[in-house]
Structure 1
Amino acid sequence: MSTNRTLAAKFVPPGEGFVMHTPGGDATILKIAAAETNDHFSLNEYVAMPDAGPPMHVHTREDEAFYILEGTVTFICDGKIIEAPKGSFVFAPRGLPHTFKNRTKSPAKFLLIVTPPANFEAFYSRIGGKDEKGQPPAESLIIERIGREAPNFGITILGPNPL
């Protein structure tokens, strides 16, 4: 991990950033990448569509922190179900099984802070990067890519999302 580079200020206007897609039509917008923070953290604005969320999983390389901006997101962290409305904060440290789902009828939005990022944005890019025409990949392709790529990034898929 490099810690001796000079950091630059950064401004990202609303609605801008590098967009990556995840299962269920969700999108994560990378606002600042690991390389821009000397690998200390990355920050994503995550838009969770109704009834969407990742499979139950565990990270071995990074911690995840979630701050809910809009709507309500349901989490399972270490076997506990947490209903997290706007203004809530949830921390899922590495090694802790977790998942989340938007169980409402409207999109939810949260900030996802990953620390240390451990090349996490490369994982998102590989599973949900847009194709050469700028279109998001099909849902089945995203799920296939998760199964293939997760072990390469220290992520273990534990099963389907139980929420």
Structure 2
Amino acid sequence: MKRRSFLKSAAALLPAAGLDPMAFASAPGLDALNAGEIVGAGKDRLGEAHSRGYSSILFKVLPRETSNGLFVIEHMNLVNGGPPLHKHPNQEEYFYVISGEVRLAVGDRRLTLRAGESILGPRGIPHTFAAVEGKPGHMLIAFSPAGKMEEFLRATAIPNPPAEDAAFWRRFDVELVGPSPFKA
């Protein structure tokens, strides 16, 4: 019997055994056979499109794949712009520049990272980023633990640009600190 057929048959038996099938279910949109699959270059984990207006965002590792331990996104074609200054009280945010240059503010530091460079934004420390003007950037960002970042990015995606309202951001455990120091 093929594995997929076996798993479907086994799932059908769970209610008969008095077991809750949801206790064994994987996340929506993914099944146990998808775990460990390659997410191709320029591809989103679920084949979706995400944007906050200053880049195209690809979801690479979903929180539901890691018991909410990790969420990894890829920013492609990052242009001048970025989120306002903010902080995460419950998670670290790791930035890795793949190509181009990206300006970062982490606490009081103002840095420009180039391809191959990275920095950690520790929990509780205000931070933001923006591409260097005229040079599209490309970077990975990882959140650990994942928290509510997937929901936040979905709620603030274009055509619903991010609300710069502190109460809105707090719903996703993100604290809005102020405007980006990189915006003119």
Within the candidate set 38, 63, 69, 1:11 is matched to 38
Q: What SS is found at the alignment partner of 2:162? A: helix
CA deviations 1:55-111 (Å, max 9, x no partner) are 011111221001100100011111111110111111001100111111231210001
Partner of 1:133: none
- Tell whether the 8 Å contact from 1:54 to 1:161 is kept in structure 2 after alignment: yes
> Which amino acid in 1 is paired with 2:94?
A
Query: What's the TM-score once normalised by structure 1's chain length?
Result: 0.82
For the pair 1:56 / 2:75, whether they are aligned, the reply is no
List structure 1 runs of 4+ shifted beyond 6 angstroms. Answer: none
The structure with more strand, counted as a fraction of residues: 1
Query: Quick check: 89-98 or 99-108, which moved more?
Result: 99-108
Within 5 Å, which residues of 2 pair with 1:10-49?
10-17=37-44, 18-22=48-52, 24-49=53-78
Q: What SS is found at the alignment partner of 2:156? A: helix
Query: What's the TM-score once normalised by structure 2's chain length?
Result: 0.73
Please list every run of 5 or more consecutive structure 2 residues that lacks an aligned counterpart in the other structure. Answer: 1-25, 27-31
Sequence identity, in percent? Answer: 24
Higher-Rg member (1/2): 2
Q: Distance in 2 between matches of 1:29 and 1:70?
A: 16
Partner of 1:101: 130
Within the candidate set 150, 155, 158, 2:169 is matched to 150
> Which amino acid in 1 is paired with 2:120?
F
Structure with the bigger RCO (C-alpha within 8 Å, sep 6+) is 1
Query: Quick check: 66-75 or 9-18, which moved more?
Result: 9-18
Q: Cα distance 1:13–1:88, how it changes in 2: closer, same or farther (>3 A)? A: same
Q: Distance in 2 between matches of 1:149 and 1:47?
A: 26
Within the candidate set 114, 117, 122, 1:88 is matched to 117
Q: Distance in 2 between matches of 1:106 and 1:77?
A: 21
Q: Distance in 2 between matches of 1:72 and 1:158?
A: 24
Aligned-residue Cα RMSD (Å) equals 1.9
1:48 shift after superposition = 4.9
- Tell whether the 8 Å contact from 1:52 to 1:103 is kept in structure 2 after alignment: no
